[in-house]
Amino acid sequence: MAHAVAMIGAETAAPPPTGPQRTCIATGRTDAPERMIRFVVGPAGDVVPDLARRLPGRGLWVTAERSAVERAVAKNLFSRAARASVKPAPDLAERVGRLLLERVLADLGRARRAGRAVAGFVKVEQMVGRRRAGLLIVAGEAEGDGLKKLEASGLPLVRLADAMVLGALFGREQAVYVAVARDDAGGAFAQRIEAGAARWRHYRSDGSNEG
């Protein structure tokens, strides 16, 4: 958890990027697209999150923090930015959080199907002992000696979802501990999952250092 918190804190303290920039319609801040959420106006005049930044149409950009999305909805800023009457769903901020989590879980599911992710403390410990682990994932309710032992490994560790959600990915009732193998040339699972988890937690915590 300490690594995840430090990573999120480092992200917020990073120097301004030199690549493409977008301006948040809610805060007025300018930042890299990777640190924001892109929205587009759908055919029915609804506001559609475009996390992959691939949907056609003019992008409406909001800082990747829940409070910024809530502000954009509450103050009708999507309509102002789109220069048209649009209808963001009242639960848009919550929906974005769910979509961010779903993207991370989808990557984790792909890692499992590729044989590069295991669940259960014994299997996780074995992967760590064989120096194959590149990322450790623990459910939100993880605590006690097992968590401390994994933290002591020095490997990147993130909290993600809860034990029931993680368990469903592995065909079991619950999974408190998960390990993802080091990446190979076939796919950067560990890096993608770690970055996605940090993005999800950053969004939920509104950019604070709280885990």
Please write the tens of the pLDDT for every residue from 161-174: 999 999 999 999 99
Please tell me the distance from the alpha carbon of residue 179 to that of residue 134, in angstroms, as a whole number.
7
- The reported pLDDT for the residue numbered 187 is 60
Please check whether the domain covering 96-204 is classified as CATH 3.40.50.2300. Answer: no
Distances in Å between the Cα of 186 and the Cα atoms of 94, 127, 139, 179, 180 are: 33, 19, 27, 18, 14
Task: Confirm if 196 and 64 have CB atoms less than 8 A apart.
Answer: no
Please say if the pLDDT value at position 209 is more than 90: no
- The reported pLDDT for the residue numbered 10 is 43
Residue spans per domain, the chain? 15-92, 96-204
195 sits in which H/E element: helix 189-204
pTM of the model: 0.86
Tell me which CATH code domain 15-92 carries: 3.30.1230.10
- The reported pLDDT for the residue numbered 188 is 83
Instruction: Say whether 33 sits in a helix, a strand or coil.
Output: helix
Task: Confirm if 100 and 203 have CB atoms less than 8 A apart.
Answer: yes
pLDDT digits (tens, 9 = 90+) for 39-86: 999 999 999 999 999 999 999 999 999 999 999 999 999 999 999 999
- The reported pLDDT for the residue numbered 207 is 66
Handedness of CA 15, 60, 101, 142 (dihedral sign): positive
Q: Which of 73, 170, 187 is nearest to 179 (CA)?
A: 170
- The reported pLDDT for the residue numbered 2 is 44
Please say if the pLDDT value at position 88 is more than 90: yes
- In percent, how much of the chain has pLDDT > 70? 87
- Per the listing, tokens 């993005």 go with 199
Please tell me the distance from the alpha carbon of residue 59 to that of residue 87, in angstroms, as a whole number.
15
Please say if the pLDDT value at position 92 is more than 90: yes
